[in-house]
A and B are shown apart, each in its own frame.
Chain A
Amino acid sequence: MAAIFNLNHHASYVHWHFIQLSVSNVIVIVLMLIVFAAAIFLPFPHHRDSEELS
């Protein structure tokens, strides 16, 4: 079952001083930070029918 994107080729790498990260891993890390920030900043829906209970 062939994938739509074939990732079975050599990866590209990001080099910064002694740090080496694959582009795939950098994408995962960046996505995590974006998702975390989005989770904090995006407004959470408040439905009128979920009234406050004491």
Chain B
Amino acid sequence: MSVHAKRTWTGAVRDRAVSALPPEKLLADKQPSYVASWIYVFGVLSLSSLAVIILSGSILALKGPGWWHFTGVGHFFNSIHLWSVELFFFFMVIHLWGKYWMAAWRGGRARVWITGAVTFLVAIPCALTGYVSQQNFDSQWISTQAKDAINASGLGAFFNLLNFGQMYSYHVLLLPAAVVALVIAHVLLVRNHGVVPPFRLADKLPAVAEPATVDGGAAGPEASS
């Protein structure tokens, strides 16, 4: 930790960040030996799907919302965008199933679960604003139907699904920014806390609250990972 005569805000932020996420945790090149199942790949598959969504969405945004209706290349990138969204939800839900059955919130990891859950919940209106920004029959139908639910909640006073300009702004900037911020928080929390250890199969608890070890049993000296 750096020593300053008078502690600066920058120094305080840096010290806290490095303490929570030292480089060997942030970009680890080792992982616990129990991480040995294909179920562990669905987080990175969801992340990769999100990356393809953002890249293809950026190309669609470069040429404006009407482009994809009139050119083959535009339609190609619209298709990439649609299928990467389908893959994102596909892999994210399987990731969720895996994490639930592992009770991955154990050992102080509740925030990891919460950020993941909120990411899923925010991704849904992000997708909805995308569907109503397509400027085709699908958008017409989805917006005129969903507006009734939004209006019933009172949010219709602020969020008009029939207003293409507003929906496009939410879809291209505001909601993706929220999803990305949540995903970053989620991933950094995983790197900070580490991947949750397996349930202990032994019936008895250790004598004191000792960390989980390779045999799932009793104490070992506590070491930082």
Give the interface of A toward B (CB within 8 A).
1, 28, 31-32, 35-36, 38-40, 42, 44, 46, 52-53
Contacts and interface: CB of A to CB of B under 8 A. Distances in A.
Interface in B24-82: 30, 33, 36-39, 41-42, 72-73, 75-76
Contact of A1 (B41, B42, B76): B76
Main secondary structure of the interface of A (DSSP, over half): helix
Contact of A35 (B37, B73, B86, B94): B94
B36 A39 contact: no
Main secondary structure of the interface of B (DSSP, over half): helix
A39 B38 contact: yes
Contacts of B90: 28, 31-32, 35
Interface of B: 30, 33, 36-39, 41-42, 72-73, 75-76, 86, 90, 93-94, 97-98
Given A42-B38, A44-B36, A36 B75 contact: no
A32 B37 contact: no
A36 B39 CA distance: 7
Nearest to A2: B72
Contacts of B42: 39
Contacts of A28: 86, 90
A46 B34 CA distance: 11
25 contacts: A1-B72, A1-B73, A1-B76, A28-B86, A28-B90, A31-B90, A32-B94, A35-B90, A35-B94, A36-B97, A36-B98, A38-B38, A39-B37, A39-B38, A39-B39, A39-B41, A39-B42, A39-B94, A39-B98, A40-B98, A44-B37, A44-B38, A46-B36, A52-B33, A53-B30
A36 to B, nearest CB: 5
Nearest to A41: B38
Contacts of A52: 33
3 tightest A-B CB contacts, nearest first: A1-B72, A39-B38, A39-B39
A1 B75 contact: yes
Contacts of B41: 39
B181 to A, nearest CB: 27
Given A39-B98, A42-B38, 19 more contacts: A28-B86, A28-B90, A35-B90, A35-B94, A36-B39, A36-B97, A38-B38, A39-B37, A39-B38, A39-B39, A39-B42, A40-B37, A40-B38, A40-B98, A44-B36, A44-B37, A46-B36, A52-B33, A53-B30
A53 to B, nearest CB: 6
Contacts of A36: 39, 94, 97-98
